[in-house]
Amino acid sequence: MHLSLSQSATSDTLLIPVIQNDHLVNTLSNLAPTVGLPASTLEADFKADAKEVLPIYQPNGRKTYLIGLGKTPGINEWFRTFRKFFYDQKNRLPQHVGVDLRLHGPDAIEGVVLGAYGGGYDLKLYQTDKPESPIFYSENGQLSLLVDDPTTQADALRRAEAIALTQRQIMDLMNAPSNYKTPQTLADWAVASGRQHGYSVRVLNKAQIEQEGLQALLAVNRGSDHEPVFIIAEYKPEHAPNAKKVGLVGKGITFDTGGISIKPSANMHMMKSDMGGAAAVLGTLEVAAKLKLPVHLIGIVPSTENMVDGSATKPGDVIGSYLGKTIEVIDTDAEGRIILADGLGYMVRNYGPDVLIDLATLTGSVIATLGYHAAGLFTNNDELAEALSRAATQTGERVWRLPLWDVYAEDIRSDVADLKNFSGKPMAGAISAGKFLEVFTENHPAWVHLDIAGTAFGDTEFGSQKNGTGFGIRLLIDWLRTL
């Protein structure tokens, strides 16, 4: 599919988004001559509710769709509305489709482009009898965005396409089953992306991980036949020597059985997506490099499976870590924070970032607190919390701040080691996990932990069960652009 900006409509099918505001009657009156219908008919049949669609066929064969956006839509509403439209209509659309955005700003461009690519996403990655792709999503498909001034909107289009293409790859990674996605698969993806987009990637194998003393990662890996990897990706802008240095650390568990503290079978199949934090980090590095953002980015992904065999770490074991701190393993299903301990420690000691952010599908507790609509945000830095919250509001990838008060540190005190990985209490689990991670940041003054367990995979038009969303990439890119 090719994207373009235009000042005139040349496609056979035109999409006209309409906002449900106080000017709706006037908007429909102005549209009446364009679509060849009386204004009274439009007013009766179209209310511009969110995701409402009114198809209009004209005698010359031209087709126009009025698409409702509801009241005060943000980028996420544009994105979800157009994703549903393109998914529902993809087999009916011609090769060339136009969208009239002359009454809307750059946010609309990003939402429409993300929606168009999202609507064509194919979740059936391994189906053998897949039908031929719709003509609109073929190599010759074309999406034209009608704007008043293509020159001023070119950056918005470039940014939207960069995010959309990377996000689609990230969703493929998240939705791949674990027999097609091992830790080495993530490493190979990162290396290929770095070569293509001009950033460096170094992958530590098991021997190098042992040499570096990343003992926490090795402890989680003990039950798996697949060796762990430790991915270090770095993007340096060419013409910004004083750029802020941002460190991103992502949890890369490619499958999580829970280990000896094994999970119930009912939803274990979704644990193929337990590398959502790693996906967000890798995707953000690629998009930042494609857009040549003036920020110095380092991404670290500790990756392994969490499996069960005779060598697996047991509840009650005491393990080491990169920083030398000892960890009593109370629950082997709290493995994400264990591997992040090594990722955070390695980042702080070796790169000294100005800002440190980790992302992980970490706890069921955050889902019990916030549901599937927001990620938990943990930090003691008010300025960072506000900046990321603004980016969350802008992109629709919502976050909600939860406390990191020192009183919660009592939950991770161990009798036999420096700390334990699980409180054992049926409350405040996301917070105690955050307090655990805080220990391995060495009191970094600008650290943020994002628990994305409820947002990294969700319900969509193209799946009957939860699937990967790519959450975090748009949020982080929007925030990075403000630095």
Give 393-420 pLDDT, tens digit per residue: 999 999 999 999 999 999 999 999 999 9
3-state secondary structure of 327: strand
Q: Are residues 155 and 188 in the same domain?
A: no
Confidence of residue 130 (pLDDT cuts 50, 70, 90): confident
Write out the residue range of the structural domain in which residue 365 sits.
181-480
pLDDT for residue 61 is more than 80: yes
CATH classification of the domain holding 187: 3.40.630.10
For the record, the structure tokens of 277 come out as 């934090």
Q: Are residues 261 and 365 in the same domain?
A: yes
Q: What is the pLDDT of residue 270?
A: 92
Structural domain contains residue 169: no
CATH classification of the domain holding 108: 3.40.220.10
Q: Any binding-site annotation on 335?
A: yes
What one-character DSSP code corresponds to residue 451?
A: E
Q: What is the pLDDT of residue 465?
A: 81
Q: Are residues 212 and 103 in the same domain?
A: no
Last residue of a domain, one of 163, 194, 210: 163
Confidence of residue 460 (pLDDT cuts 50, 70, 90): confident
Catalytic residue among 337, 420, 435, 474: 337
Is residue 263 annotated as part of the catalytic site, yes or no? yes
pLDDT for residue 461 is more than 90: no
Q: Are residues 277 and 364 in the same domain?
A: yes
**Residue 197: what are its φ and ψ, rounded to 5°?**
-115, 5
Structural domain contains residue 168: no
Percentage above 70 pLDDT, the chain: 100
Q: Are residues 334 and 461 in the same domain?
A: yes
Number of domains in the chain: 2
Q: Any binding-site annotation on 251?
A: yes
Structural domain contains residue 170: no
Q: What is the pLDDT of residue 9?
A: 82
Q: Are residues 312 and 440 in the same domain?
A: yes
Mean pLDDT of 42-68: 94
Whole-structure pTM value: 0.96
For the record, the structure tokens of 436 come out as 């655990």
Structural domain contains residue 338: yes
Helices within 312-428 (DSSP H only): 336-351, 364-370, 382-395
Q: Are residues 130 and 204 in the same domain?
A: no
Catalytic residue among 47, 245, 263, 466: 263
Structural domain contains residue 173: no
Structural domain contains residue 175: no
Q: Are residues 145 and 239 in the same domain?
A: no
Last residue of a domain, one of 163, 191, 224: 163
Q: Are residues 243 and 122 in the same domain?
A: no
Q: Are residues 111 and 192 in the same domain?
A: no
* Surface-to-core class of residue 130, CB atoms within 10 Å of its CB (0-12 exposed, 13-18 middle, 19+ buried): exposed
Distance from C-alpha of 414 to C-alpha of 364, rounded to nearest angstrom = 22
Last residue of a domain, one of 100, 128, 163: 163
Q: Are residues 116 and 200 in the same domain?
A: no
pLDDT digits (tens, 9 = 90+) for 338-355: 999 999 999 999 999 999
Q: What is the pLDDT of residue 60?
A: 82
Q: What is the pLDDT of residue 105?
A: 86
Structural domain contains residue 220: yes
Q: What is the pLDDT of residue 10?
A: 86
Q: Are residues 211 and 139 in the same domain?
A: no
Confidence of residue 329 (pLDDT cuts 50, 70, 90): very high
CA 337 to chain CA centroid, nearest Å? 19
pLDDT for residue 305 is more than 80: yes
List the one residue out of 87, 98, 90, 137 whose CA is nearest residue 17.
98
